[in-house]
C-alpha cells in the first residue's frame, strides 16, 4: 500500500485530498496544527486503519516513521482574513514549512507536490494568466505575506529539484470552492452565501467589475492527482477558466439562495486583483485535465452543504473586523 503524507489535512482542500487518496487505496498520513483547519473535516476518517493523523506544525521539524511515497504540502492559511490575522505563521509555513517538507522528501526519497496559488501573479497585467507570466506582486502590501510566501515556496521547490534531484510538482491553484469551506474565512463565495443565509445584504468591494474564476473542489482534486502522477516539474495552473465579475457572481448567489438582499458596494482593498483567470492549456496538454463540473451544479452542491450548518456556525463571522479584510 502506497503511503502519502498530506499537510494541511484538516483544511478545506487537504480534507478532500485525504478522502480521494483513501478511496484510491493509499495509506494516508494527515498532518495539521489546526490553526485554520478543523477536525470536523476529517473525523469521518479516524476509524479507518489506513488513516492516521498528526497534530503538528510543519514549520517545526517533521518526523514520520516508515516509508513515504508521496508528500502533498497543502498546509497554509489560504484566505485573507486568516493570513492578515496570522502573517508570521503564514510566512513560516511557506518558508520553514516547505523547507522541512522538502528535507523529508529528500530523506524518504518521496515525490512531493506543493500547493502554490494564483496569487503569485498578484494584480496581473497579463490576462488570462499563463505559467510563463512572472506576476505583479507588492511584496510589502497587505497581501505580501501570502503572495511572497508562495513565491518563495516555488523557488525553493525548484532549487531542491535542480540541486538534489527531488521529484517535485508545483500546482498553481486558482479560486476553488465546495463543501467544508469556512463561512468566516473572507473568501467571496462563503461570504456571499453566509450573508444570504443570515438575511444580510451582500457586500461587494469596489464596483464589482473585478473578475474571478471558480473551480469546484472535485475538479481541483482530480487535477492535483493527475499532476502528482505526471513527470512535469514546472508550475501548472489548476483552475476553471470560466470568468465572471463579482457583481454577476453576487446575482447568481441571490438567485441560488432565493434571498432578496441588496448588494452593498464598498471601497476596494489595497492590491486586490482586478482580474483572475487561468490559462489551463498546459494542464490540458500535459495532464488531459480540464474542469467537468459547471458553476451552476457546483454552487448547488456547495449551497446544500452550507444549509446543513447550525445557527451557531452561521453566526461565527466577525462582523466588526470582516470589512477590514480582503475578499479573495
The predicted structure's pLDDT at residue 324: 37
> pTM value?
0.92
Find residue 71's DSSP bridge partners.
5, 112
pLDDT at site 273: 72
- Scanning the structure block, which residue is given the C-alpha cell 468591494? 205
End-to-end CA distance of the chain: 38
The Cα angle at residue 51 between residues 46 and 55, in degrees rounded to 5: 70
What average pLDDT score do residues 20-39 get?
97
Q: What is the pLDDT of residues 225-277, one digit of tens each?
A: 999 999 999 999 999 999 999 999 999 999 999 988 889 888 877 767 788 89
Q: Is the pLDDT of residue 310 over 80?
A: no
Q: How confident is the model at residue 36 (pLDDT cuts 50, 70, 90)?
A: very high
Helix-strand-coil split of the chain, %, nearest 5: 40, 20, 40
More confidently predicted of 238 and 207: 238
Mean pLDDT (whole number) for 84-106: 96
* Catalytic positions, written as ranges: 146
**Selected residue with higher pLDDT from 103 and 211:** 103
- Give the pLDDT band of residue 120 (cuts 50, 70, 90): very high
Sign of CA dihedral 59, 86, 175, 137: negative
Cβ atoms of residues 148 and 139 within 8 Å: yes
Return the pLDDT at 308: 86
List, in order of start, the domains of the chain with CATH numbers.
3-174+216-238 (3.40.50.720), 177-213+241-276+293-322 (3.90.25.10)
Amino acid at each position: 500500500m502506497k503511503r502519502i503524507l498530506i499537510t494541511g489535512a484538516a483544511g478545506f482542500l487537504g480534507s478532500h485530498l485525504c478522502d480521494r487518496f483513501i478511496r484510491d487505496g493509499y495509506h494516508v498520513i494527515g498532518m495539521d496544527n489546526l490553526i485554520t483547519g478543523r477536525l470536523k473535516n476529517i473525523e469521518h476518517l479516524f476509524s479507518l486503519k489506513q488513516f492516521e493523523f498528526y497534530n503538528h506544525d510543519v514549520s517545526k521539524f517533521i518526523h514520520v516513521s516508515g516509508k513515504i511515497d508521496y508528500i502533498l504540502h497543502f498546509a497554509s492559511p489560504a484566505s485573507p482574513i486568516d493570513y492578515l490575522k496570522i502573517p508570521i505563521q503564514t510566512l513560516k509555513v511557506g518558508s520553514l514549512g516547505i523547507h522541512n517538507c522538502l528535507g523529508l522528501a529528500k530523506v524518504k526519497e518521496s515525490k512531493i507536490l506543493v500547493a502554490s496559488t494564483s496569487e503569485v501573479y498578484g494584480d496581473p497585467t497579463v490576462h488570462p494568466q499563463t505559467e510563463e507570466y512572472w506576476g505583479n506582486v507588492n511584496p510589502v502590501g497587505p497581501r505580501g505575506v501570502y503572495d511572497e510566501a508562495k513565491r518563495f515556496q516555488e523557488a525553493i521547490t525548484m532549487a531542491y529539484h535542480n540541486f538534489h534531484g527531488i521529484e517535485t510538482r508545483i500546482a498553481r491553484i486558482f479560486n476553488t470552492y465546495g463543501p467544508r469551506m469556512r463561512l468566516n474565512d473572507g473568501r467571496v463565495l462563503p461570504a456571499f452565501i453566509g450573508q444570504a443565509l443570515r438575511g444580510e445584504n451582500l457586500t461587494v468591494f469596489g464596483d464589482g467589475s473585478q473578475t474571478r474564476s471558480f473551480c469546484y473542489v472535485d475538479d481541483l482534486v482530480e487535477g492535483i492527482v493527475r499532476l502528482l502522477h505526471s513527470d512535469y516539474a514546472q508550475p501548472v495552473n489548476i483552475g476553471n477558466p470560466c470568468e465572471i465579475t463579482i457583481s454577476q457572481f453576487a446575482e447568481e448567489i441571490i438567485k441560488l439562495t432565493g434571498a432578496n438582499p441588496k448588494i452593498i458596494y464598498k471601497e476596494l482593498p489595497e492590491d486586490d486583483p482586478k482580474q483572475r483567470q487561468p490559462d489551463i492549456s498546459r494542464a490540458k496538454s500535459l495532464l488531459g485535465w480540464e474542469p467537468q463540473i459547471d458553476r451552476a451544479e457546483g454552487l448547488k452542491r456547495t449551497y446544500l452543504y452550507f444549509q446543513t450548518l447550525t445557527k451557531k456556525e452561521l453566526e461565527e463571522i466577525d462582523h466588526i473586523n470582516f470589512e477590514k479584510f480582503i475578499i479573495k
